Structure 1
Amino acid sequence: MTKNSAKDDKQQKQQSGNEGITQKPGTSITEWVLAGISCLALLTALGYLIVDGLSGRNGTAQLIVLPVEVTATNGGYVVEFAAENHAGKSVAAVEIRGELRNGDEVVEESSATLDYIPQQSERKGALIFRRDPKAHELRLFASGYSEP
């Protein structure tokens, strides 16, 4: 064996060894799959935001206040209520008022403030009266709110 043939064998071995290490240029299947999943997630998020933005969920809050329970205490009567927000708009600092009426005359008033009522949800609270609400006409209503 000559020096040249030994050198040629060595170069061939290096070239054949390098062939296993080098990769073809391009994108692997794993990269394509991850790119597809990412694209699908992005399109889903964009679609949700577009539908949510066009759904017309702005406007006036629709607050309904309903009595839940009346309990007698040492200092008077506690009227528990549920305030429901049926609109697509959240509201804050919701002022809830209650009136005990005898015909057209307001016998007693009470109020409470709810910090926050998210859209399509309900929050509970209570009003305290000195007179028995069962002996009068009880009216509960939201009298004001602010935008969060």
Structure 2
Amino acid sequence: MRTNGKGKAGATASYEKALEWVVGGVAFFFVVVLLGYLFGLGAWVDGQPPRFAIMVENVEQIGNVYQMQVVVTNEGDVTASDVRLRAVLHQDVGPDEARELRFDYLPQRSQRRGAFVFERDPRSGVTVDLSVTSYVEP
């Protein structure tokens, strides 16, 4: 019995060629979806500068000092770096107690935690002012 030379080898080559087209089509689809997503992100994001919200999470006495844990949130659409926070305890008696805290990197729409360390209890008879004093857009 004679064959025309294509036989099994021809069927395998045809199958491999079809598989290549299917894989290529799926990859092309994902690349187009990814590019569309990135383009949409760039087109519809307002590009609001960093906006910060600071919240006191907890105050804990450790030895002779008090740690005031805070959460800072960047509610803007732009990443901030070298973010500096300042906390000032205004007291009725004695001098104010001021502390600073620095975060290297605060991406858009994210949170970071840190702690201010005070000699006096920030929960008792004092006013605490929290503020962001500076940041840099990388």
Match for residue 9 of structure 1? none
Match for residue 30 of structure 1? 19
Following TM superposition, by how much is the alpha carbon of 1:42 offset from its aligned partner in structure 2, in angstroms? Answer: 1.2
Larger Rg: 1 or 2? 1
Is 1:96–2:85 an aligned residue pair? Answer: yes
Relative to structure 1, the CA distance from residue 73 to residue 30 in structure 2 (aligned partners, 3 Å threshold; closer, same or farther) is closer
Asked if the contact 1:94/1:142 (under 8 Å) is kept, the reply is: yes
Asked if the contact 1:57/1:87 (under 8 Å) is kept, the reply is: no
Following TM superposition, by how much is the alpha carbon of 1:22 offset from its aligned partner in structure 2, in angstroms? Answer: 5.4
Match for residue 111 of structure 2? 122
Relative to structure 1, the CA distance from residue 140 to residue 46 in structure 2 (aligned partners, 3 Å threshold; closer, same or farther) is same
Secondary structure of 2:47 counterpart? coil
Following TM superposition, by how much is the alpha carbon of 1:46 offset from its aligned partner in structure 2, in angstroms? Answer: 0.8
Relative to structure 1, the CA distance from residue 42 to residue 117 in structure 2 (aligned partners, 3 Å threshold; closer, same or farther) is same
Larger helix share, 1 or 2: 1
Equivalences for 1:1-148 in 2 at 5 Å?
Answer: 16-20=3-7, 28-102=17-91, 107-134=96-123, 135-148=125-138
Divergent runs of 4+, >4 A? 21-25
Secondary structure of 2:69 counterpart? strand
Secondary structure of 1:18 counterpart? coil
Asked if the contact 1:57/1:89 (under 8 Å) is kept, the reply is: no
- Percent of residue pairs bearing the same amino acid type: 25
Structure 2: which 5+ residue stretches go unaligned? none
Q: TM-score, normalised by structure 1?
A: 0.75
Following TM superposition, by how much is the alpha carbon of 1:136 offset from its aligned partner in structure 2, in angstroms? Answer: 0.4
Secondary structure of 2:96 counterpart? strand
Structure 1: which 5+ residue stretches go unaligned? 1-11
Match for residue 6 of structure 1? none
Asked if the contact 1:97/1:142 (under 8 Å) is kept, the reply is: yes
